[in-house]
Amino acid sequence: MAVVGVVMGSASDWPVMEKAADVLAEFGVPYAVKVSSAHRTLDETVAWARQFAEQGGMIIIAGAGLAAHLPGVVAAAVELPVIGVPIASGHLNGVDALYSIVQMPPGVPVAAVGINGARNAGLLAVEILALASTELRDKLCEFRRNQAEKVAAQDAALRGRGGQGERLN
């Protein structure tokens, strides 16, 4: 049973949204993927979101470009946390989608990550789920430790280049 739904307005969004799916897979979180457009297939989008919630889905990650109605429409359809991913496309390169997602009117919130920030959307979903799962919390701690170790390794490698270490601090 999918716990996180990853929905996007077009298959053209998948190269970005795939990064959210990758994170969920990394953490072993069951997820479902859906292409559905807020303006081209409105009824199907609402029906999908409601069915996902009825079947026990807990969080929706919704990515869209341009005017980017999808995250807001999905958030209006169900009482689940929705994380919006603004996709870079068109003349405004994602700024339009960012504003559209982040400026939801009061009453129907959408959490927004940065433009093309699907990886962070996946991580935020994992962090929300980790509130009720010690297993996920442990995995997150390990993930953060590994991340910190990589920075330390980069630092050590740069310090090895002719004693420039002091400048890095």
Determine, following the binding rule CB under 6 A, whether residue 66 of this chain makes contact with ligand RP5: yes
As measured in angstroms, the least distance from the Cβ of 62 to ligand RP5 is: 9
Determine, following the binding rule CB under 6 A, whether residue 41 of this chain makes contact with ligand RP5: no
Determine, following the binding rule CB under 6 A, whether residue 36 of this chain makes contact with ligand RP5: no
Complex with ligand RP5: residue 20 or 87, whichever CB lies closer: 87
As measured in angstroms, the least distance from the Cβ of 43 to ligand RP5 is: 16
- Rg of the chain taking only CA atoms, in angstroms: 18
Determine, following the binding rule CB under 6 A, whether residue 29 of this chain makes contact with ligand RP5: no
Determine, following the binding rule CB under 6 A, whether residue 65 of this chain makes contact with ligand RP5: yes
Q: Please identify which residue in 4, 75, 87, 104 interacts with ligand RP5, judged by CB under 6 A.
A: 87
32 with 52: CB under 8 angstroms? yes
Determine, following the binding rule CB under 6 A, whether residue 12 of this chain makes contact with ligand RP5: yes
As measured in angstroms, the least distance from the Cβ of 64 to ligand RP5 is: 4
As measured in angstroms, the least distance from the Cβ of 41 to ligand RP5 is: 10
- Give CA–CA dist 2/52, Å, rounded: 8
Contacts of residue 158, Cβ cutoff 8 Å, sequence gap at least 6: 164, 165, 168
- Give CA–CA dist 83/6, Å, rounded: 10
Beta strands, E only, 19-132? 31-35, 59-65, 82-87, 111-112
Determine, following the binding rule CB under 6 A, whether residue 121 of this chain makes contact with ligand RP5: no
Q: Please identify which residue in 18, 37, 58, 108 interacts with ligand RP5, judged by CB under 6 A.
A: 37
Q: Considering only CA atoms, which of 80, 86, 79 is closest in space to residue 103?
A: 86
DSSP state of 66: T
- Give CA–CA dist 93/158, Å, rounded: 34
70 with 43: CB under 8 angstroms? no
Positions touching ligand RP5 (CB under 6 A) are 8-10, 12-13, 37, 64-66, 87, 89
